[in-house]
Amino acid sequence: MEKISKEARALIIDKHLTEIGIPVYGRSTRIRNDMKATAATVAGWLSGSLPSDFVTGLKFSDIYGICPWFWAKGISKTGLRESLDYKLVAIYIRKFEKEHDVFLTDDQFDEVYEALIKNWGEGKVFAQRLIPFLKH
């Protein structure tokens, strides 16, 4: 996972807060009050800095409904965790192999696994499209 710039994080936070209905005017004050944080701290977050305290970052993420991974890295990890456990992804792949009488190589398994982690629905389509190539 690549590191993203402060500017990119600022855009992520701005877009998210706007989408959940927190207007730009008064935004800082609301966050200061909700988070019990200083004006300088909130200004830093809004300009793309991350909280120096992990627990504070998680609290912010919880209050405002933003995935901490998305805030920090620009890539959401919560979609899969909300619906599935990572172990269940591996179980799904092994079940897929049995149902279709195929065996994935380690590289193929990794590709399908990554596809499912990124987007469950698209990952399933990807796996289905592999079937003709796996049967000899």
First to last CA, the chain: 36
What's the pLDDT score for residue 79?
54
Chain-centroid distance, C-alpha 73: 8
Give tens-digit pLDDT for 79-123.
545 555 677 888 889 989 999 998 899 999 999 998 888 877 788
Within 13 Å of residue 45, how many CA atoms lie on the same side as its CB? 24
Same domain, 67 and 87: no
- Single out the residue of 90, 78, 98 nearest to residue 116, CA to CA: 90
CB of 77 within 8 A of CB of 69? yes
Separation in Å, CA 40 to CA 29, 30, 31, 51, 134: 11, 14, 12, 12, 57
Q: How many other β-carbons are positioned within 10 Å of the β-carbon of residue 127? A: 23
What's the pLDDT score for residue 8?
93
Residue 56 has pLDDT above 70, yes or no: yes
Same domain, 66 and 10: yes
Q: Quote the percentage of the chain above a pLDDT of 90.
A: 46
Give the residue numbers spanning the domain of 59: 6-74
What's the pLDDT score for residue 63?
92
What's the pLDDT score for residue 67?
85
CB of 16 within 8 A of CB of 66? yes
Same domain, 68 and 113: no
User: Rounded mean pLDDT of the chain?
Assistant: 87
Separation in Å, CA 16 to CA 68, 115, 122: 12, 25, 24
Q: What total number of domains does the chain contain?
A: 2
In a domain, 1, yes or no: no
CB of 102 within 8 A of CB of 131? yes
What's the pLDDT score for residue 74?
82
Same domain, 97 and 42: no
What's the pLDDT score for residue 91?
86
